[in-house]
Every structure is written in C-alpha cells, then in structure tokens.
Amino acid sequence: MTRHAGNRAPARAPNLAGRRPIELRIRDIGQLFHSLDPLPYRERDLDERVEAYVVGWAGEMPRAPMEIIVHLPAAEAERAEAAHVGEAMRNYFAYRAEMIGWELRDLFRVGRSSLAIGLTVLVVCVAAGRALGELMGPGYLGRVFDEGLIILGWVANWRPVEIFLYDWQPLARRRKLYRALAAAEVRLSATP
C-alpha cells in the first residue's frame, strides 16, 4: 500500500452519491490482508496497517456514508480473489464492531460489580466512621475517623463512576465507526 505525501491521501469532496471516499493504493491484493491468516480472502483479517489507515481516515471525516476505493493494477483486479475484497472488508469491520460490543458489555459488567462493591464499602465506611466518631468523642480524633472513612467510601466508588460516566463513550464511538465501515461500499479501481 502506498501513501500520499504526509502519510495521508488528499482529502476529497464527497462524490455524487454523497459518499466520502477513503482511497487505498496497493500493488497486490495480499497487501490488504494479514499474511499469517490461513482463511480464504473473504474471511481474513485486514492487515493492521490497512485497518489503521482506513479507521484513521474514517474517524477524521464528517459523518456521512462511506466508500472505500481500492486502487490496484489491472492484473490484480482480474484475479478471482478480487471479487471477495469488498465482502472481506465489510465482514472484518462488522466483526470488529461486534468485538467492541463485547468489550462494552464487559466494561458495563465490571462497572456493575464495581458499583456493588463501592456502595457496600461506602455503607460500611459511613457506619464505621459514625461509630468510631462517637466512640472517640467530639474531638479531632473522632472527626478524623468519621470523615476519613466517609472519604474512603466515596473513593471506593471512583471506578464505577468513571466507567458509567466516561469509559464507555470511546468504545461506543469506535463501535459506531466500525459499523459505518462495515456498511461502506467497497470498490476496486483498476489502474494501468
């Protein structure tokens, strides 16, 4: 796969169908896929560099339907494997979206268990802080135990709060991007 100056292809205006093109220029079809993957082309994993390039471009473009144009020599475009390139790319991106969905579900599972633990710790800390505060009396030592344990209880909830407020958002955005790439039209363009 060759890249244009600055490691990025020049940005283009959407074509007549309103699709945003992401263009790849390769010398042979094998460059698109992971070389160690023994599966047929339509089921193979994309090469890591190809995936990074396509996902990088897709992430920088405004939201609209996408199109992936693969420029390759005419002899390569006539190979039997060329007929499976579009299907292979769509299958790969759909699979990646599904994997990210699994990660998202796992993150929420961890968030729920962390929240249960955090709330339990908070309840125990509030009760223990009150009891120790009363046991130690109205002085500074009693306040240290009371307020210190309350702070510890809230700190125990830091991770679930972080998960439910922030951590899921990048995963959801990536899943949406991979779903859009899975729906992208893939065209081969034979070059002389």
- Per-residue pLDDT of 86-108, as tens digits, reads 899 999 999 999 999 999 999 99
Which pLDDT value is given to residue 100? 96
Express each pLDDT in 122-157 by its tens digit. 999 999 988 887 888 777 887 888 888 899 999 999
Q: Above 80 in pLDDT, residue 164?
A: yes
pLDDT mean across residues, the chain:
84
Q: Note the pTM of the prediction, 2 decimals.
A: 0.75
The region that residue 6 occupies, defined by phi over 0 for left and psi between -120 and 50 for alpha, beta otherwise, is left
For every residue of 89-143, DSSP letters joined together read HHHHHHHHHHHHHHHHHHHHHHHHHHHHHHHHHHHHHHHHHHHHHHHH-SSHHHH
How far does the chain reach from its first CA to its final CA, in angstroms?
16
